[in-house]
Amino acid sequence: QVQLVESGGGLVQAGGSLRLSCTASGRTFSSYVMGWFRQAPGKEREFVGAITKGGGATYYADSVKGRFTISRDNAKNTVYLQMDSLKFEDTAVYYCAARSGPGLAVVTPIRYDTWGQGTQVTVSS
């Protein structure tokens, strides 16, 4: 299994941008579909988006489609979440997660095998 570490969170004004990174240990990173989730205080963990093992396809939640972009660099064992046009409601702890099973549009957290520790994103209005 891989171990995941997120970075890049912080405080940003509404309308601004942030890029999150998630770096994996181990040599099997390219064997995993990678997903991003977020969790706001008092709310359930919410699917943000996912990217296929080779990086050729992505899938996004409607709430972030057109504003967020997921990419990956398998040579660097890293997946990215570029967040543009941030809104106050994007405020949450953001987590990356790895899944070894097939399929891309898998939005249920329990279907993911490994999780990072999360990074806080705060958008000021």
- Is residue 87 within 8 A of residue 14, CB to CB? The reply is yes
**Residue 25, Cα to own-chain centre: how many angstroms?**
16
pLDDT digits (tens, 9 = 90+) for 67-82: 999 999 999 999 999 9
- pLDDT on residue 102: 85
Residue 39: which H helix or E strand, with range? strand 33-39
How many CB atoms within 10 Å of residue 108? 8
Which residues of the chain register pLDDT less than 70? none
- pLDDT on residue 27: 76
Q: Residue 43, SS3?
A: coil
- pLDDT on residue 1: 80
Which positions ≥6 away from 59 have C-beta within 8 Å?
49, 50, 51, 104, 105
- pLDDT on residue 69: 98
Distance CA 36, CA 29 (A): 15
Distance CA 72, CA 53 (A): 9
- pLDDT on residue 125: 87
- Please name the residue that has the structure tokens 């329990």: 110
- The backbone torsions φ and ψ at residue 64, rounded to the nearest 5 degrees and listed phi first, read -120, -5
